[in-house]
Structure 1
Amino acid sequence: MTAIDLRPATSADSEYCFQLHKAAMGAYVTAIWGWDEQIQRDFHARVFTPDQWQIITADGADAGMLHVEHRPTAIYLARIELHPDCQGRGIGSELIRSLLDQARLQGQELTLDVLVVNQRAKALYRRLGLHEVTRHGENNIKIRMSTKPPQPGLIHGS
């Protein structure tokens, strides 16, 4: 059994998080936009918020990152990334189940966005009980998923 913990991110984690993003999401970013190192570094510099991010550890070693936003009516899973060496070990599932439990206890839904090209993540979210609500972004590249099932006929871009 893997011991999974979270620790607050610090400014010193910036390069780790960038390299993690490249390893975990690089193929998906490349499939949609193409990978441009400088554009990705600039994007990372804009979105890296260590006071809001957590570093996922597995058996004491850094394994990924988590960014969760607590909104008025929902818990929004803004970002979860696991290093490829740590994927498929149940770490992401355990963390998402914990968020699902928290949302249920608070009477809220859990929502997230996933890139349409990320089949593995979409399958995981479906297994955990999330439903596609809508597609959005340029050329509908993102899928909004939620624990609240969509109303019939309201899924756009399917």
Structure 2
Amino acid sequence: METPLPFAPRLRPVTSSDEPFLFTLYASTRARELAAWGLPPAQAEPFLRMQYQAQARHYAAVHPPEGHALIEVEGAPVGRQWVARTATELLLVDVSLLPEHQGRGLGTHLLRELQGEAARARVPVRLHVTRDNPALRLYTRQGFTPVPGGDPTSPYLELQWRAPEGDSGTGVG
């Protein structure tokens, strides 16, 4: 039996007042990469802002805004989740957590909730992840598998999860 989380994560729609937090979150997802490049902070900040704005414009142009949610724990923002829901799939566009909230079961909890939703709707969950992203271990543990025909030279893997036959959302995990 799964141990319940000691906290109750809550998803709420993103608003324009969340922009400063969303930038901080985005920057935290790139910290390891920027450290490897040795970029000084004076150069890192404008680079990160440019990259963040490009990603935000792209996501907003391609994915419905109703799937964009802030993840809160005890009323404080700790991450974001963006899910594009269609009749044929749930596309996990992005899920990010601040580093201090990673490795505590929150990502697993959110992923299981999404898998339960997909099982009830009888659709797969699909996502893209970089091959060197530590979250790849989480996705693999949760039963995600590579989509056949992927480009082995791409830095990204396309993964998918389908509920086992007969699972209507109660046996995920």
Q: TM-score range by the shorter chain?
A: 0.7 to 0.9
Q: Is the 8 A contact 1:28 1:117 kept in 2?
A: no
- For structure 2, the 5+ residue unaligned runs are 1-5, 164-173
Q: CA RMSD in A?
A: 2.6
* Of 143, 146, 149, the match for 2:160: 146
Q: What is residue 16 of structure 1 aligned with on the other side?
A: 21
C-alpha spacing 1:89/1:38, structure 2 compared with 1 (3 Å)? closer
Q: What is residue 50 of structure 2 aligned with on the other side?
A: 39
Q: How does 1:94-109 map to 2 (within 5 A)?
A: 94-109=109-124
Q: How does 1:1-158 map to 2 (within 5 A)?
A: 1-28=6-33, 36-47=47-58, 49=60, 51-118=66-133, 120-134=134-148, 135-136=150-151, 139-148=153-162
Partner amino acid, structure 2, of 1:141: P
Please say which of residues 92-101 and 127-136 is displaced more in the overlay.
127-136
- For structure 1, the 5+ residue unaligned runs are 150-158
Partner amino acid, structure 2, of 1:96: L
Please say which of residues 51-60 and 124-133 is displaced more in the overlay.
51-60
Q: Normalized against structure 2, the TM-score is what?
A: 0.74
Q: What is residue 166 of structure 2 aligned with on the other side?
A: none
Determine the C-alpha separation between the residues in 2 that align with 1:30 and 1:72: 41
Q: Normalized against structure 1, the TM-score is what?
A: 0.80
Q: Is the 8 A contact 2:119 2:162 kept in 1?
A: no
Instruction: Report sequence identity in percent.
Output: 28
The structure in which a higher percent of residues are strand is: 1
User: How many residues get paired?
Assistant: 146
Q: Is the 8 A contact 1:14 1:48 kept in 2?
A: no
